[in-house]
Structure 1
């Protein structure tokens, strides 16, 4: 009965928690725990990208008149699914609240945002010198790096899907050339991104816990100087 008389109590919508659980209420700090939906999309993109990069190393393009092999077919259809996942992430990034905003993913059109990235980069270097990355910085640099990854995977998905539907045309060949270039960039991005994530984890950050539902100290204990 006392609860009914308290005007400050609000009913929670349990359906909202499925998508926004873990979102910080501290504004747009990108180092807060991402929502479940963001983590699901991130995981799907990771699986799709790994599949595309690995199958591209072993598949063979069919000759005219020949049927495509299993790996080539898998690469094509997972690529089309990747396009849908990327498209869904763009929509979610535009409408979600309490998480990283588009302006932080692509700060290159604002002097203020660029200065935040440079300042955060210097903060990260100071933490690295002290061998302690456990303290959250503004997250501006991490957000900008994620934005670059999003652009690369988007270009991969768009050019791959276009070449699939425009097969045999001159534009399809151009799209495949761009697709191959983006794949090489994605290899570099994936290796660098994974290495930095591992380094942050070793030096005290809970970055893997935030993104992959992992326990603290998962895989290996954190190293302390």
Structure 2
């Protein structure tokens, strides 16, 4: 049986800008993924249907917010620092990541969840990978938009490197979003973390 640690009164670790950009980016990415299921994209004859237009502009919004979140991470005074999000270039951080992976693996084998600890090495690294993945998907879509708008390529996306990358990353974003949201919901239901903590825009 899954166990949990009661930890519902943690102070908010992230500033308002981080929470605002996180919420906006999440909504933009969900909009992108949902519209991609039914939209009809552009070709040399038509500009794409209304769902494609929503997809296009929510993607541009996601690009701006992803860039804003990177800037916020660099300048903020509290919250996970860049080194924790990107531990791949530090031997000390990689060692901590390896130990944290063992902790999580040991808990999973016992059908348990470790205590919710956002600054821990593994959650921080996963958040960092997610931000890189989502930023790359948004940026590749923005590059496609710019190429078409500047007349550097026709609206037909077949064969375009930017769109090939965009479509490939979209599948990974689906997997990340489902896993990330499912784990957050599980921790909320187990009362080890409140979803309202990250989604609140209050002080």
Q: Which moved more, 1:62-71 or 1:133-142?
A: 133-142
Change (3 A) 1:137 1:75: closer
Equivalent residue in structure 1 for 2:61, among 72, 81, 84: 81
Is the Cα contact below 8 Å between 1:117 and 1:141 reproduced in 2? yes
TM-score by length of 1: 0.74
The 2-side partners of 1:54 and 1:107 are apart by 32
Residues 1:91 and 2:71 aligned together:
yes
Which whole-Å CA distance do the structure 2 matches of 1:175 and 1:100 have between them? 31
Give the deviation of 1:162 after TM superposition: 0.6
For 1:117 and 1:49, locate their aligned partners in 2 and report how far apart those are by CA, in whole Å.
Answer: 28
TM-score (norm 2): 0.81
Give the Cα separation in 2 of the matches to 1:38 and 1:131.
30
**Residues 56 and 130 of structure 1: is their aligned pair in 2 closer, same or farther, counting only changes over 3 Å?**
closer
Higher RCO (CA < 8 A, seq sep 6+): 2
TM-superposed deviation, 1:137: 7.2
CA contact (8 A) 2:104 2:113 kept: no
User: Cα RMSD over matched residues?
Assistant: 2.7
- The alignment status of 1:191 with 2:178, answered yes or no, reads yes
Larger radius of gyration: 1
- Cα deviation for residue 131 of structure 1 reads 3.2
The answer to whether the aligner puts 1:211 opposite 2:191 as a matched pair is: no
Gaps of 5+ in 2: 1-9
Q: Shift of residue 96 of structure 1? A: 0.6
The Cα offsets for residues 177-204 of structure 1, whole Å up to 9 and x where unpaired, read as: 0000111110011111112222333444
1:57 pairs, out of 16, 30, 37, with 37
Deviation at 1:127, TM superposition (A): 4.4
Is 2:89 aligned against 1:109? yes
Q: Which runs of 5+ in 1 are unaligned?
A: 1-22, 25-31, 215-225
Q: Cα distance 1:75–1:142, how it changes in 2: closer, same or farther (>3 A)?
A: same
